[in-house]
Structure formats: C-alpha cells, structure tokens
Amino acid sequence: MSRTLAQKVWDSHVVRKADGEPDLLYIDLHLLHEVTSPQAFDGLRIAGRKVRRPDLTIATEDHNTPTDNLLTISDPVSRTQIETLRRNCEEFGIRLHPLGDPEQGVVHVMGPQRGLTQPGMTIVCGDSHTSTHGAFGALAFGIGTSEVEHVLATQTLPQNTPKQMAVTVTGELPPGITAKDLILALITQVGTGGGRGHVVEYRGPAIEKLSMEGRMTVSNMSIEWGAKAGLIAPDDTTYAWLEGRTFAPKGRDWEAALDAWRALPSDPDAVFDSEVTLDAGTLSPFVTWGTNPGQGAPLSASVPDPESFQSEAERAAARRALEYMDLRPGVPLREVAVDVVFVGSCTNGRLEDLRLAADVLRGRKVADGVRMMIVPGSAAVRAQAESEGLHEVFTAAGAEWRFAGCSMCLGMNPDTLKPGQRSASTSNRNFEGRQGKGGRTHLVSPAVAAATAVVGRLAAPADL
Amino acid sequence: MEKFTAHVGTAVPLRRSNVDTDQIIPAVYLKRVTRTGFEDGLFAAWREDPDFVLNNPAYAGATILVAGPEFGTGSSREHAVWALCDYGFRVVISPRYGDIFRGNSLKQGLLTVELPVEAVEELWDLVESRPTTTVEVDLEALEVRADGRVWGFTLDSFSRWRLLEGLDDIGLTLRHEDRISAFETQRPAWGVVVS
C-alpha cells in the first residue's frame, strides 16, 4: 500500500499496536531544556524511575538565559531553573550544553547543527516548535511535561494516528521573498486551526528550492496553524547539509543511512486526507497586524477593517487585536512605526537569516529611536557569523550583537518589550504580551526586519 | 491522576477565540520548578482588567470554563493546564482546542469537552443571564446538561477510559516493557546516539 513520508516514519517506530488504543511509538531523540523538564524529573524521582535512554537524550539552556553575557543569570528564579536542569542532567546522566558552552543554543537550532536531526527519525521536545526538525523528513512534535516524563521513563509515547495533509507550494518565490513570507501567508490563508489533528507535508517546487534553513523556518511554524508536525521530504539538499556534521553517520554507515533515507519520500500515489495549495509566485513581503499568527497581510496592504471578516468570531478577534495593537483600520502597514527590531529565535536565528539581515544593513544605519537586537540561534551560529564579519556589519549599523538564546521571542529572560512598545520580530508568535507584558509584535522575515530597522516603520528592502 | 466520572458546577463564559497558552499563563510564570501553585498566573494579564469575567464576583467558585474556538493554541506549556486546575477548574468547554493543550489536559484530569459553536453560544447566553446555572458534565454518559438542555460530546475511548479509571500513562506503558526492549534490538546500527 502506498504511504506518505509521515506514515513511513510512523510505521517504522510502532512498538505496539492494539485495537482501541493509541499506537506506542519509539522516540529516537529527546531534546530537553530548562523550562518544561524540572517537574518531569521530579516525577521520575517520586516514582523511583530512571531515564531509560540517556544516550538518546540531550539538553541545552535557552529560554531563561541572558543574551548580554555568558556568566551571570541575575534573576534568581531563572537561575534556580537553570541550576535545576544542571542537577537533573548530572543525576540522570544526560549530556547538557550549558550557557557558555560552544554548542549551547536554542534547542531547535542546536539539534540540526550538530547533525542530531536526521531523516526518518522521531524527535520530541517539551516545546511546540519541535516541528522545526520536520524540515529533515523527521517526525518531530512538541509535547507537554507529562509526556516529557513519559519519554524519559520509557523512550516511547502513546499517540493517536494523525490525519495526513499535503501543502503543495507551486511556482517560484519572487526574488527577495523568503520562507518566512511563505509560511506567514499560508497561516493567514488557512487560519490558526487549519492544521489541527494533522501531520502535514510541505511539497512542491517552491519547497524543493528552499535551503535547509528556509525549510526549517517553514516547518518551525507548522504549530502556528495547529498542525502536529510539518515534514519535508529529504533530498540532496538535506544530505549535503547533514554530511560531515558531528552526529551524522560516517563512512559505510553514511551509505546505509542514505539508502534508508532515499526510501522515505511519499509514494507518488500516496493519499492525503486533505490538501492545501499556494502559488509561491504570488507572494510578497508578508507581516502580521494582529495578535495571532493568522492575522497577517502583505506589507503593501493596510490594516484591515474588522467588519470585513466573515464570521463573528473573526470580527470579534480582529476588533480586540486592533485595540491591543493600537492600530486603526485603513492605515497602510508601511506607516506603522516600531520601537524595537528583533532578529533571532528558532524560526529565524540561523546563519542564513543573519546573512539576509546583514545584506540589508551593510552600509546603512538603524533609524534614530529604534533598538535593533540581533540574537544568533546558537553559540555556533554566532561564531560562524563572526568568522564572516557579519557582527561588524551589525554593530556598524548600530544594532546590538548578542549571545545565543531564545531572547525576545518570549518574555522569560531579560530581553523584553516594555508595555506599549511595538516590535518587528522574526520570531513566531505575536500573541498579546508574548515579548513582554503590554508589548505589540509584528511578525516579519529577517529582510523585512532589517529594512524596518533602517526606516523606522514596517518596510521591505525594496523600499530603501 | 484522579478519576473523573462526572462533575457538577457553575460556569464562566469566556467570550474569546484563540485563547493561546501565553494568555492562559504568561511565560514569566514558567520559571518555577514546582508542579503546583500556578493559580496566580492564570490569565494574569487579563485579570488586571477589573471588567475581565474572572473578576466578576457572580462567577466566584465556578469550576467550568466555557471558551471560544481554538482554546489553548500555541506553546506546549503544561503549566496552562496546571494553572487552570490550581485555580479550581475541572472542565473546559470549547468548540476546538490546540492539540498539545488538549493532550496535556487529558493527562492531568482536566476534562476538555468539545461542543459545537452553537452549543457554546447557548451556554454563554445561559450562564450570562443566570450565573448560578448548574452545569453537569457527565463523562460516563458523554453529556453536558444545563437548564433542561442536553448536549452530547465525543472523546476517544482510550482517553475516556484512562480518565474514568484515573490511570497513569507511564504505568500503562511499562506493562509493555518487553516490547520496548525487543524494538530496541532492531533499531538501525547507524542511528543517532548522543553520548
């Protein structure tokens, strides 16, 4: 029987199947960070359980860590959480990349860059953006703390069979239009609940042409439209990216792995429960105006009139969003002035993203009154960027060049918006207060972020 | 996990859609390493508004939250479920949930009932006009009942059974440890090993 990529990965990880019960799936890689793991380790201790496979488990520090230094976590509550992770990893024998380690970074940047993320794997983490790893053809999804404990204890998870959806992106992205514009436009098209209950596969010529960084940006935001996971079939782009990385197979193992990976793509006649199509050729720089990632529009548009939406729920949500965002219907998005620009996160904190921002900033200055923060996704990305001299471009433009971490993507560390401040952010969520209480977020691509920093209002590089 | 068979209580109408987990509990409350004591973080930003429905004394002591579609989208933080439970909620009713939140809730014994938009609107009208309305949520009969009206709901039979029996997932899985060990002998030799 023909199967999709996701079904093949699923089938090869079923430990136990029984009528009326979820399948028990084996987990190949479990990623941990400080926020969603402490209660899981406590649960193990209370029950007298061990970590079944510390050799399939790896931890990093990212959500709470400061990005202005590598030594001092000044908030005592954050420090306790970090210290708790260190103690737990020590006690249970789990490898940890702590603050200051050359491999430390945002968990979804760290895994792929080390070669830990490979096609055909099952990968989980107590973090919804685990979908990022789907870019390699892995079945990767976020879990809650009870499930973290379950995986620590058993290296498995009971899972109900998801439905299968294809997202086919036809045509070609116009010059300067990025993976971020693509995924933001898709989410506005399908809505925040559009992928609920589904594992999706992104496919089509526009997806195949994306770099691995671009594919990770797309897969990363799968959760923002409700999908359980977002996979992309592995191909030569994937293999070229992986080969030679620390944890990638070597020598004869590499050849064996390639043979297995080449059998993973969906069969030509595989059946999906539903399909969404998007024409990449129609896309332009895309930004959000509201307080969920589905409230977006092309940069060339104006703030929409809430009364223009079809359902009362959408109208009510738009009214509330505009009030929170302090925006009036009909105002061109290009006239919206920002206070802060943030380039970073597991969505857009990779080397390619930093290069895109640097290309725009080279020889230009951040506008007066605008604070621009560039936060590499990992210590390794930071080192690579510095070896290319990108940090000099950023600092010459007046941007802050910082250490790796989740930073301003979420308000858990010192990098936050002040109440009423407005940001253009390359992160993934524009929820109320996400970047700090009372903060207002516009989601954008790295190129739009950089152009916005220069102009002081939402802008694309073509506006410069 | 505590058993859940049926619950009777009063309900709070939360007339909002896309209530993401950052609203249910902002990230700043996630720095704690405990599993209880999150009630202060529940809807922390919204509760600063005196007009927010949870601040209305008419709904004090309510144990059922009735919310708009796409409740619990976003972050995987199980703290959202803990905060709802610690505040005193036993049931949430919404037309649709974020998948991760839903999974977390059913593992913690917080029953998340899916009812159609029309039923949620009827419940909103009912509890807004009479906040003391008693709402019954019956997991055995798979019914929500209030003011003489009855709405049926569905839940996958495995989750329902686990809730009715109050069973621990890890304990259930460890009954099949031999199968896990057998599976491990067949994994590809070139697979990732961290240490």
B96 contacts chain A (CB < 8 A): yes
pLDDT at B195: 75
Q: Which residue from B69, B74, B187 is facing A429, i.e. has the nearest CB?
A: B74
**ipTM computed for the complex:** 0.96
3-state secondary structure at position A374 = strand
Give the integer Cα–Cα distance in Å for A450 and A309: 31
B116 contacts chain A (CB < 8 A): no
**Contact (CB<8Å) B157/A20:** yes
Give the integer Cα–Cα distance in Å for B137 and A251: 60
pLDDT at B191: 93
B148 contacts chain A (CB < 8 A): no
Q: Which residue from A81, A193, A247 is facing B31, i.e. has the nearest CB?
A: A81
B167 contacts chain A (CB < 8 A): no
At A208, the amino acid letter reads E
Which residue in A245, A261, A431, A443 has the most chain B C-beta atoms within 10 A of its own C-beta, making it the best mutation to test that interface?
A: A431
Give the integer Cα–Cα distance in Å for B173 and A84: 27
Residues of B (118-147) whose Cβ lies below 8 Å from A: none
Which two structure tokens, joined as six digits, stand for A105? 């970074």
Mean pLDDT of A209-219: 98
Mean pLDDT of A433-444: 97
A50 contacts chain B (CB < 8 A): no
pLDDT at B2: 84
pTM, rounded to two decimals? 0.97
Per-residue pLDDT of chain B (195 residues; tens, 9 = 90+): 889 999 999 999 999 999 999 999 999 999 999 999 999 999 999 999 999 999 999 999 999 999 999 999 999 999 999 999 999 999 999 999 999 999 999 999 999 999 999 999 999 999 999 999 999 999 999 999 999 999 999 999 999 999 999 998 999 999 999 999 999 999 999 999 997
Instruction: Give Cα B68 to chain centroid, integer Å.
Output: 13
Q: Are strands A422-425 and B11-14 parallel, antiparallel or unpaired?
A: unpaired
Give the integer Cα–Cα distance in Å for A281 and A134: 24
Is residue A410 scored above 80 in pLDDT?
yes
Shortest Cα distance, chain A CAs vs residue B23, angstroms? 7
For A375, other C-beta atoms within 10 Å of its C-beta total: 27
Q: Which residues of A touch B75 (CB under 8 A)?
A: 127-128, 410, 429
Q: Which residues of A touch B189 (CB under 8 A)?
A: 253, 256
For B51, other C-beta atoms within 10 Å of its C-beta total: 7
CA nearest to A125 within chain B: B76
Give the integer Cα–Cα distance in Å for B178 and B128: 54
Is residue A1 scored above 90 in pLDDT?
no
Shortest Cα distance, chain A CAs vs residue B65, angstroms? 18
Which two structure tokens, joined as six digits, stand for A289? 């105006």
User: Buried b vs exposed e over A40-55: b needs ≥16 C-beta within 10 Å?
Assistant: bbbbbeeeebebbbbe
